[in-house]
Structure 1
Amino acid sequence: MGSVVNTHQAEAWNGYEGEHWAGNQDRYDAVNSGFNDHLLDAAAVGEGDRVLDIGCGNGQVTRLAARRAPLGHATGVDLSAPMLARARASAAAEGLANVTFEQGDAQVHPFPAAGSDVAVSRFGIMFFADPVAAFANIGRALRPGGRLAFLSLRRMEDNELGEVFAAMARHLPRRPATTEHGGPGPESLADPGRVREVLSGAGFGKVDVTAVDAPQHWGRDAEDAGAFLGAWGPVRFLLDQVDPAAAAQAREALVEALRPFEQAGAVRLRGAAWLVTAARP
């Protein structure tokens, strides 16, 4: 891996967090795949396009983009070695020859200048230490007129997951999966004004921010979904901050809050995101 400035995130995604995502590839794809068509349709990936997938994780979006660009190429970039290993294995199993995965920090990664037609990201752009610098670097990787399309999480209160987390709040030091305004974290680009400010500062134009929703499949039933969510990095961290009795109460509250979302053999919550498009001048 080349230079890294986002060292805290590099440690997380090459430690427990990355291992958990890699070990639960199918489950995380079930959570997020409802957003795939929103993203790839907005990116308008053509058959000969060179696609850059930022924060590609286990590589589902990269592989889908490669299929939409059979005469082009898709490159996924991520900090996480465990997730990239899963991405490469999945691409090989699917027989995709026009896909590559690279380990790197998108904020400083030496992308070939003007080497891509379109950059995409499914929730992989919310953790930059310096988002303006990161998007400027991504912009340099795009040809003049190149396109950017990404998904960022809306406020937790706009997601049904926020209702679930609220049920745990009185047992925990603070709400899971949140961040201070402007800092790296799941809600760092939850404000459309902040999104426009960052992208304009990075040199992008034609910025459009649209609200999109999608169902997220978290598990077979409340107990299964609760165990999975309880092992998710941000929640696990907070559970580790309290005594065992409080942690047990928080886990029980989590399961009970998930029960109303059980339907047809699955726990489905409505996910809320911003679909952002922009262009390099």
Structure 2
Amino acid sequence: MADTPIANTHQFEAWNGYEGRHWAEHQARYDALNDSLNGPLLDAAALRGTDTVLDIGCGNGHVTRLAARSAHRAVGIDLSTPMLERARATAETEGLTHVTHVQGDAQVHPFERATFDVALSRYGVMFFTDPVAAFTNIAGALRPEGRLAFVCPQSFDRLDQARIFEAVAQYAPLPDLTAASKTGPASFADPARSRDVLSRAGYTSIEVEPLETHQLWGADPADASAFLFGWGPMRHWLRDTPAEAVARARDAATEAFTAYATEAGVRLRSRSWLVTATRG
């Protein structure tokens, strides 16, 4: 059970089902996808040793733990029970006693007002049902002049991952991930929307900067393909696709991943936006 009311019941169900379990069970694999964002995000957050930090959509908690090492205290909030269990266990193993994890929906969670100096997020803000309400709620949790920093994906067609999906789509139906949407991975792909949402939520000094990094998908193309086809959305999209077609699609993905194979593993270029703002 969540600690507080949930506005986004669809995401709550997803992250407490197969998707959340898969992320928790493959913590290192998902961190390998996104850890290249950590340095730019934390640099933008400009953490100080006296800061109290809120990590929005903390998942398995890597960013929360990194923030805690530079701050006075860090709190991670997420919808997912399995991921929070993983986050708490890892923080305990690492001896981080000034880290707290809360299960809740940041859009409606009753944060104590003016508690945090910094709110940050690595790919955790794109799924709010009402982003203005969510960022307004987060602003209320920040102290005056508190800082916000997050990273979110650019449009899907600007990612190397799109080339892999094009190969899969030759044999199995996939949704149009380039279509504009108000919630979902690409919901802040347009920087103008980030500026509009944050302005309406009461933030000032809003900056949106492009960020290009690489994601490590696997040790080799076959490993990367196996990981992709275990991913929750892919399983959902292909649930009614005949097994033979799925097998061909997986072979096509393996072949497509070959173009990105290096001695360090399969590395795909990823493009994100780094967004910073100040509580007004």
TM-score class, shorter-chain normalisation, is over 0.9
DSSP 3-state at the match of 1:51: strand
In structure 1, C-alpha distance between the alignment counterparts of 2:81 and 2:238, rounded to whole Å: 26
Q: Quote how far apart the aligned CAs of 1:171 are.
A: 2.4
The residue aligned with 1:161 is: 161
Q: Judge conservation of contact 1:169–1:175 (CA < 8 Å) in 2.
A: no
Q: 1:65 aligns with which of 64, 67, 76?
A: 67
* 8 Å contact kept, 1:173–1:241: no
Q: Indicate the residue corresponding to 2:42 in structure 1.
A: 40
Alignment-derived partner of residue 8 in structure 2? 6
User: What is residue 78 of structure 2 aligned with on the other side?
Assistant: 78
Q: Could you tell me which amino acid in structure 1 is paired with residue 247 of structure 2?
A: A
Q: Which deviates further from its counterpart, 12-21 or 232-241?
A: 232-241
Cα drift, residue 180 of structure 1: 4.8
CA distance in 2: counterparts of 1:40 and 1:52, whole angstroms = 12
Q: What residue identity is the alignment partner of 1:257?
A: A
Which amino acid is the alignment partner of residue 171 of structure 1?
A: Y
Relative to structure 2, which stretch is displaced further, 101-110 or 184-193? 184-193
Q: What letter is aligned with 1:247?
A: V
Q: Residue 265 of structure 1: CA displacement?
A: 4.5
CA gap 1:202/1:241 in 2 versus in 1, 3 angstroms: farther
Match of 1:273 in 2: 272
Q: Which moved more, 1:165-174 or 1:100-109?
A: 165-174
- The 5-angstrom pairing of residues 238-257 of structure 1 reads 238-257=237-256
> Per the alignment, in what secondary structure is the counterpart of residue 171 of structure 1?
coil
Residues 230 and 200 of structure 1: is their aligned pair in 2 closer, same or farther, counting only changes over 3 Å? same
Match of 2:213 in 1: 214
How much does 1:179 deviate? Answer: 6.9
Deviations 1:164-185 (A, max 9, x none): 1111123233347x37533321
Give the total of aligned pairs: 278
2:28 partner SS: helix
Q: Which amino acid aligns with 1:45?
A: L
Structure 1 consecutive aligned stretches of length 4 or more whose deviation exceeds 3 Å: none
Structure 2 gap segments, 5+ residues each? none
- In structure 1, the residue matched to 2:261 is 262
Quote the Cα distance in structure 1 between the aligned partners of 2:83 and 2:187.
22
SS of the counterpart of 2:188?
coil
TM-score between both structures, scaled by the size of structure 1: 0.96
Q: Kindly, what percent of the aligned residue pairs are identical?
A: 54
Equivalent residue number for residue 49 of structure 1: 51
Kept after mapping to 2: 8 A contact 1:166/1:175: no
Counterparts of residues 128-167 of structure 1 (less than 5 Å)? 128-167=128-167
Distance of 1:260 and 1:170 partners within structure 2? 17
Q: Per the alignment, in what secondary structure is the counterpart of residue 138 of structure 2? A: helix
- C-alpha distance 57-179 of structure 1, shift in aligned 2 (>3 A): farther
Q: What secondary structure is seen at the aligned counterpart in 1 of 2:48?
A: coil
Map 1:87-126 to 2 at 5 A. Answer: 87-126=87-126
Partner of 2:173: 173
Describe the shift of the 1:110–1:148 C-alpha distance in structure 2 as closer, same or farther (beyond 3 A): same
Q: Any residues of structure 2 matched to 1:17-36 within 5 Å, and which?
A: 17-36=19-38
Aligned to 2:197: 198
Tell me if the contact between 1:165 and 1:175 (Cα under 8 Å) persists in the aligned partners.
no
SS at match of 2:170: helix
SS across alignment from 1:68 = coil
Contact residue 58 and residue 83 of structure 1 kept, 8 A: yes
Q: Residue 204 of structure 2 aligns to which amino acid in structure 1?
A: G
Q: CA deviation at 1:158?
A: 1.1
